[in-house]
Amino acid sequence: MPTRGRTLSRTDERELTALLVLAVIFIGATMTANIMSLRMVAPLGIVFDAGTVLYPITFLVRDQIHRRAGKRFSDTVVLVSALANLAMFACFFIAAWMPADETTGPQEEFALVLLPGILIVIGSVVGQYVAERIDGVIYHRVYKGGAGSATRAAVLSNLVSIPIDSALMSTIAFAATVPFVSYASAMGVNIVLKYAITMGALTASIGVTNVVDSLRVRRGARELPEALPGD
């Protein structure tokens, strides 16, 4: 006789919901950042790919997943994300390869915007996957190993993983087609911006967490039962 699934407690249900939300945010952010990276921008004359403004957030989200569910679960999410990005780019190639509806028009803009070179695809996915896995190893050793707090683990892991991501992506995607000075300069800007965005997001995250924890403590204090006479 088949058995019914175990009913989750309210705490377990909330934790599972939080993990699912974080995993969806992580995978969605990596896919969005990779699409944004197809556009090079130059605000104030500083050249970098647009995905730079979003991609650092993925490291912080991965750290949160790691803290809540452990290294094995976070590694699985990183792998699923890499496969999802490969599938997305494969779908772009297939859609661009199929004949366009002539009554609608040639629709050449689709391929011009969303059809990156194969080296950019490989560089984006390999850089993301390797950097996120290294981020996980460092975070695990610092936080789970008792060498520091979650904040310290996040800072140290990002200090190492961010330049690895930028170096791998830039080298694979552009080393064969762009002069070394050009792509090395762009890579340096990319790393500095990612550091700045990551530290800003981490500071904001710590502030929000402290406020939420404070509210929880106050709420818990109000909900404590009054002591019985004679206790």
Output the 3-class SS for 104-135: CCCCHHHHHHHCCCHHHHHHHHHHHHHHHHHH
- Which pLDDT band, with edges at 50, 70 and 90, does 77 fall under? very high
15 token code pair: 């934790």
Higher pLDDT, 1 or 214: 214
- Which pLDDT band, with edges at 50, 70 and 90, does 130 fall under? very high
146 token code pair: 């008792």
99 contact partners, CB below 8 Å, separation of at least 6: none
pTM reported for the whole predicted model: 0.79
Nearest one of 88, 87, 81, 89 to 26, comparing CA atoms: 81
Output the pLDDT for position 231. Answer: 43
Q: Is 107 left (phi over 0), alpha (psi -120 to 50) or beta?
A: left
Cα–Cα distance, 169 to 108 (Å, whole number): 27
Output the pLDDT for position 115. Answer: 76
Residue 33 in contact with residue 62, Cβ under 8 Å? no
CA gyration radius for the chain? 22
Residues in the chain: 231
Cα–Cα distance, 130 to 11 (Å, whole number): 33
116 token code pair: 């990156």
Across the range 36-58, mean pLDDT stands at 84
Across the range 149-164, mean pLDDT stands at 87
Q: Give yes or no for residue 183 having a pLDDT over 90.
A: no
Tokens 């490989």 belong to which residue?
Answer: 122
Q: Please report the domains of the chain, with CATH numbers, ordered by start residue.
A: 14-98+105-207 (1.10.1760)
Element (H, E) at 48: strand 48-49
